[in-house]
Structure 1
Amino acid sequence: MFPNNRPPFRRLPKIRENVNEAIRVKEVRAVFPDGQVEVMATPAAIRRAQELGLDLILVSPTAEPPVAKAMDYGQWQYEQKKKTHDAKKKQHVIQVKEVKFRPNTDDHDYDFKKNHALRFLKEGNRVKAVVQFRGREIAHVDLGKKLLLRFAEDLKDVGTVEGQPKLEGRNAHIIMSPIKVQAPPAKAKEKPAGAPSPKLDA
């Protein structure tokens, strides 16, 4: 066996970007906890933050000059993670929900699945309605097309059809997208009682 002369592996400390000495710009608009804002040389801003027991963190690197804030680095990390978490919660991922029919689907089963599709569209998701043909049912494609057109008509208030019904193999389908609800127009401010009416120019 050959001796292993390699030095032991050392894990390098993780460099905190845009914090204290890692800030590379010459001067910053420094913001301190007492509300004071001052454009000053970066080293001086770092020293002042450290005198307060805080870190200097570059919060707006693209500003002119860049904005740095004196605060606790751990607190700043917590706030950033919370912002990211809240943004993910608000973000809605549009999914394609599928509902399946047969060309001879009875009214009860049809209404049950239509109500599912109604809920999917109201939640902001797209819906793929599929009619499956088995065996000799493929000879009655027209029944499947009528069912899909009926489905689209019943949900026209909440969804729009993307194209015409399509036949792929032994399945026919349509895809519906939710209708975007527009915000109601802002109401005009009511004129207080007794306020003088505006005069018209002669």
Structure 2
Amino acid sequence: MVLDVNFADKHQAEAHCLVLFVSPAAPAKTLDFEPSFLLLLFCLIFKTETDIAIIRVRVNEKIKAPQVRVIDEGGKMLGVMSSDEALAMAREKGLDLIEVSPKANPPVVKVLSYDKYRYHLEKTLRQQKKNQKRVEVKGIRLSVRIGVHDLEFKAKQAEKFLADGNKAKIDLILRGRERANISYAFEVLKKFLEAIKFPHVTEQIPKRMGNVISAIIGPKVQQPT
């Protein structure tokens, strides 16, 4: 979903502000709120959404550069012309003039329907969201008295987490008199980590917190050859 925000604050009026987030619910809307209030409103209504992008876009008369490099609606480069000339051409076609590369010299603009531009932004965001892999931290619990079979089984479990691109947090729980032999507990955890054959890196070295010794490992990034 793309919300086109026209700020009430006149100092913000030099550009549209597009607030993008993925929602299957509604089409694009135009709202007129202060930015801080608007983002707070989004967070309250869409509590499960965390991916929000804010894009400032200059459109039509809000493009202040005296000259621009123009791309037409078919993607053809038309060259450099004055902003007034480019805007007149866009108006003649019933389209808008959108600044797509403001840092270029001169800025690059495209003749396009603004509604179509918002639609493509939303489509791009959805695709990025779909392709994005969220890294999770998976938990594995061990005991000092873990047997060989269970140790191998849980090592395989850790390898699966790593192969899926996730991290693994290993917690070795100390009970009763086991707390008196901490060095042995660290040896058990070390043995477990050595049993994990999938390439990995240690993100948190084994350390004790109360009755738990913990370590965190993550998949090792393979360097291209």
Indicate the TM-score class for this superposition, using the shorter chain for normalisation. 0.7 to 0.9
> What's 1:18 paired with?
58
- Asked which structure has the greater CA Rg, the reply is 1
> What's 1:119 paired with?
160
Give yes or no for the alignment of 1:128 onto 2:169.
Answer: yes
3-state SS of the aligned residue for 2:181? Answer: helix
Cα deviation for residue 37 of structure 1 reads 0.9
Moved more, 89-98 or 34-43: 89-98
> What's 2:30 paired with?
none
Instruction: Give structure 1 regions of 4+ aligned residues with deviation exceeding 6 angstroms.
Output: none
Give yes or no for the alignment of 1:171 onto 2:212.
Answer: yes
Amino acid at match of 1:52: K
Q: Percent identity?
A: 34
Give yes or no for the alignment of 1:29 onto 2:69.
Answer: yes
Cα deviation for residue 140 of structure 1 reads 3.3
Following the alignment from structure 2 to structure 1, what is the Cα–Cα distance between the partners of residues 100 and 163? 39
3-state SS of the aligned residue for 1:63? Answer: coil
**Where in structure 2 are the equivalents of 1:99-114 lying within 5 Å?**
99-114=140-155
Deviations 1:82-122 (CA, angstroms, capped at 9, x unpaired): 22222333333433322111111233433332222111112
> What's 1:181 paired with?
222
3-state SS of the aligned residue for 1:165? Answer: strand
Moved more, 31-40 or 66-75: 31-40
Q: Where does structure 1 lack aligned partners over 5 or more consecutive residues? A: 1-10, 186-202
> What's 1:139 paired with?
180
Give yes or no for the alignment of 1:60 onto 2:98.
Answer: no
> What's 1:49 paired with?
90
TM-score after normalising by structure 2: 0.68
Query: How many positions carry a matched residue from both structures?
Result: 173
Following the alignment from structure 1 to structure 2, what is the Cα–Cα distance between the partners of residues 36 and 97? 50
Amino acid at match of 1:174: A
Deviations 1:150-189 (CA, angstroms, capped at 9, x unpaired): 1111114421334653222111122222111223x3xxxx
Deviations 1:18-59 (CA, angstroms, capped at 9, x unpaired): 111111111111111352512111111111111111111000
> What's 1:151 paired with?
192
Following the alignment from structure 1 to structure 2, what is the Cα–Cα distance between the partners of residues 75 and 47? 19
- Structure with bigger strand share is 2
Amino acid at match of 1:65: P
Amino acid at match of 1:23: I
Following the alignment from structure 1 to structure 2, what is the Cα–Cα distance between the partners of residues 112 and 78? 49
1:152–1:160 Cα contact (<8 Å) kept: no
TM-score after normalising by structure 1: 0.75
